[in-house]
């Protein structure tokens, strides 16, 4: 069966520090991969999605970036965090074009 792992689960970072969140999927190949952010009391905001290695599409211009160095690995990064980057970050995978999303456990980021 397919599983998705995301880490770290919780982190507290100072403004201006870098960020790296990692996500891996097991038990499938060629998944679509997504990064979402959910601010407190808000809906899901799509940040990036990827349909293949090295193929990244950005939905919202910001100081975040994403990379997909391997088929089942998706990384979210920032060089300098802002206060507004605080939130609940969710990685998800989808079988090709089904639209069904399977989420990781999430990473809760607090920027101070």
Partner 1 sequence: QKEVEQNSGPLSVPEGAIASLNCTYSDRVSQSFFWYRQYSGKSPELIMSIYSNGDKEDGRFTAQLNKASQYVSLLIRDSQPSDSATYLCAVKRAGGSYIPTFGRGTSLIVHP
The DSSP call for residue 87 is E
Report the alpha-carbon distance of residue 22 to residue 63 in Å, rounded. Answer: 17
Report the alpha-carbon distance of residue 73 to residue 85 in Å, rounded. Answer: 22
CB of 90 to partner 1, least distance (A): 5
Rule CB under 8 A: which of 48-107 touch partner 1? 49, 51, 59, 90, 94, 97-106
- Is the CB of residue 68 less than 8 Å from the CB of residue 33? yes
Give the x/- contact pattern for partner 1 in 2-41, rule: CB under 8 A: ------------------------------x-x-------
Q: Which residues bind partner 1 (CB under 8 A)?
A: 32, 34, 42-44, 46, 49, 51, 59, 90, 94, 97-106
């Amino acid at each position: 069966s397919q599983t998705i792992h995301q880490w770290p689960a919780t982190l507290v970072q100072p403004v201006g520090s870098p960020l790296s969140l990692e996500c891996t999927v097991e038990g499938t190949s060629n998944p679509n991969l997504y990064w979402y952010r959910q601010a407190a009391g808000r809906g899901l905001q799509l940040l990036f999605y990827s349909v293949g290695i090295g193929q990244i599409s950005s939905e919202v211009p910001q100081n975040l970036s994403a990379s997909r160095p391997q088929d089942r690995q998706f990384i979210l990064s920032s060089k300098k965090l802002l206060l507004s980057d605080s939130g609940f970050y969710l990685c998800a995978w989808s079988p090709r074009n089904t639209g069904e999303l399977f989420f990781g456990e999430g990473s809760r980021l607090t920027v101070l």
